[in-house]
Amino acid sequence: MKRKLKRIFLVLLIAFALIQFIRPAKNLGNAEATTDIFHAVMVPDSVKGILKMSCYDCHSNSTRYPWYAEVAPASWLLASHVKNGKKELNFTEFSQLSPRRMKSKLKSIAEQVQKGEMPLKSYTLIHKNAVLTEAQVRTIKAWADAATQELNAKNQ
Ligand code: HEC
């Protein structure tokens, strides 16, 4: 019995070592691109801080990688979050969207944070400082409304 356990442990250890060779590409683009949302609508520093802290790791071209993100399978999970997050919403390329799409994304941003769906639970479990306070949720909602009005005022 003991020997069998030892063997299972050894196999797991080797498997763990082997999966480390599969390394997903990193998301390390320019964090301050000219296509960033800041160039499309007004983003006050307070909002910018919240978005960078709680959303940019998955919704921008530049992720801050913690040490455990180097270790598979955590690295795979993160890569998949970033890939799917960016597909839905990429703050770094936001200003390239049509005004209509921008407005629809702003609405969705407000909805997601109000419902507590974003940031993802699996992320806030580890990134405690990404958890949004009620005040921060209100700040995001108010900003999303203001940004929508700003786009409307530009007749877009
Ligand atoms: C850990 C990665 C991660 C973080 C952090 C994160 N998101 Fe997401 N987000 C995703 C993924 C993945 C999706 C794709 C859909 C899904 O899985 O729910 C998504 C989808 C979205 C969508 C589109 C939802 C829809 O159906 O229209 C919005 C809007 C959004 N996120 C906003 C935010 C905002 C705002 C923040 C910060 C407060 C944030 N997200 C933080 C990963 C993340």
pLDDT per residue as tens digits for the range 113-129: 999 999 999 999 989 99
Contact 74, 123 (CB under 8 A): no
Pick from 37, 31, 84: which is nearest to 62 by CA?
31
Contact 124, 53 (CB under 8 A): no
Atom of ligand 1 nearest to the CA of 119: 41
How far, in Å, from the CA of 8 to the mean position of ligand 1? 38
How far, in Å, from the CA of 122 to the mean position of ligand 1? 12
d(CA 112, CA 98) in angstroms, rounded, equals 21
How far, in Å, from the CA of 109 to the mean position of ligand 1? 8
d(CA 75, CA 20) in angstroms, rounded, equals 9
Best residue for ligand 1 mutational test, from 120, 127, 133, 141 (most atoms within 8 Å of Cβ): 120
How far, in Å, from the CA of 104 to the mean position of ligand 1? 14
Best residue for ligand 1 mutational test, from 48, 51, 55 (most atoms within 8 Å of Cβ): 55
State the greatest distance between any 2 C-alpha atoms of the chain, in Å, as a whole number. 75
Q: What is the pLDDT along the chain (156 residues), one digit of tens a residue?
A: 789 999 999 999 999 999 999 999 999 988 778 899 999 999 999 999 999 999 999 999 999 998 888 999 999 999 999 999 999 999 999 999 999 999 999 999 999 999 999 999 999 998 999 999 999 999 999 999 999 999 999 876
Give the CB-side neighbour count of residue 149, counting CA atoms within 13 A: 6
Q: Which residues of 89-126 are buried (b: 16+ CB within 10 A; e: fewer)?
A: bbbbbbbebeeeebbebbeebbebbeeeebbbeebbee
Pick from 78, 84, 79: which is nearest to 126 by CA?
78
State the sign of the Cα–Cα–Cα–Cα dihedral 129, 25, 105, 33. positive
Best residue for ligand 1 mutational test, from 75, 112, 133 (most atoms within 8 Å of Cβ): 112
Instruction: Please work out, in degrees rounded to the nearest 5, the angle formed at the alpha carbon of residue 93 by the alpha carbons of 155 and 128.
Output: 110
Cis peptide before 66 (omega within 30 of 0): no
